[in-house]
Amino acid sequence: MAPLSAVAADPDALAAAEALIREIPDYPEPGILFRDITPLLADAAALRTVIDALTAPFAGEFDVVAGVEARGFLLAGAAAIATGTGMVPVRKAGKLPRPAASVSYALEYGEATIEVHDDLAPGTRVLLVDDVLATGGTLEAAQRLFADLGVVVMGTAVLMELQGLGGRAVVGDVHTVFVA
Sheet holding 64-68, edge to edge: 100-107, 110-117, 86-92, 64-68, 125-133, 152-161, 175-179
CA distance 158 to 72: 8
Domains of the chain: 4-179 (3.40.50.2020)
Give the pLDDT confidence score for residue 4 in this predicted structure.
37
Q: Is 8's pLDDT higher than 70?
A: no
Q: Is 1's pLDDT higher than 60?
A: no
Give the pLDDT confidence score for residue 21 in this predicted structure.
97
- Summarised one tens digit per residue, pLDDT across range 79-99 is 999 999 999 999 999 999 987
- Answer whether 0.85 is exceeded by the pTM: yes
Q: Which residues are catalytic?
A: 71, 108
On whether the CB atoms of residues 106 and 140 are closer than 8 A, the answer is: no
- Summarised one tens digit per residue, pLDDT across range 96-146 is 998 789 999 987 677 999 999 998 999 999 999 999 999 999 999 999 999
